[in-house]
Amino acid sequence: MRLNNYSSGRNAEYMIKKILLSRGYVHIVRSAGSHTPIDLMASNGRRLLAIQVKKGRYISAEEKGLLIQWARAFKASPVLARKEDGRWVFHQLMGRTAHKQIQI
């Protein structure tokens, strides 16, 4: 059975939530169906992350800019979680074009 885009995206968000829980992020909020730049907010008590989950590799400069802007509003680190070579990788956005891979 093939999943529609909503179900596929939701499943990806739940996978990221599972990864975050396993790494000590116990406060996680999912922004279901909101169409905002932030899919998940997560905190481990020391660090607050505003996360956009992408199954594909492409995210536009505009999307990056909005994620950064929204993350700043919440005093959170803007993070892009995306699947690369079959595994989930996390990138902290430093600007519309700059980012660095981080360990969560």
Mean predicted confidence (pLDDT) in 55-83: 91
pTM to 2 decimals? 0.87
pLDDT single digits (tens) 30-66: 987 667 899 999 999 999 999 999 877 678 889 999 9
Q: Per DSSP, what are the bridge partners of residue 30? A: 40
Residue 43, domain extent: 5-102
CA distances to 10, 20, 90 from 74, rounded to whole Å, are: 23, 19, 19
Q: How many domains does the chain have?
A: 1
Q: Match 């430093």 to its residue by tokens.
A: 94
From 7, 8, 31, 34, active-site residue: 34
Residue 53 has a pLDDT of 94
Q: Match 């079959």 to its residue by tokens.
A: 86
* Residue 34 among the catalytic residues: yes
Euclidean distance between CA atoms 39 and 33, whole angstroms: 9
Residue 58's contacts (CB-CB under 8 Å, 6 or more residues apart) are none
Question: CATH code at 81?
Answer: 3.40.1350.10
Query: Taking 70 as the threshold, does the pLDDT of residue 101 lie above it?
Result: yes
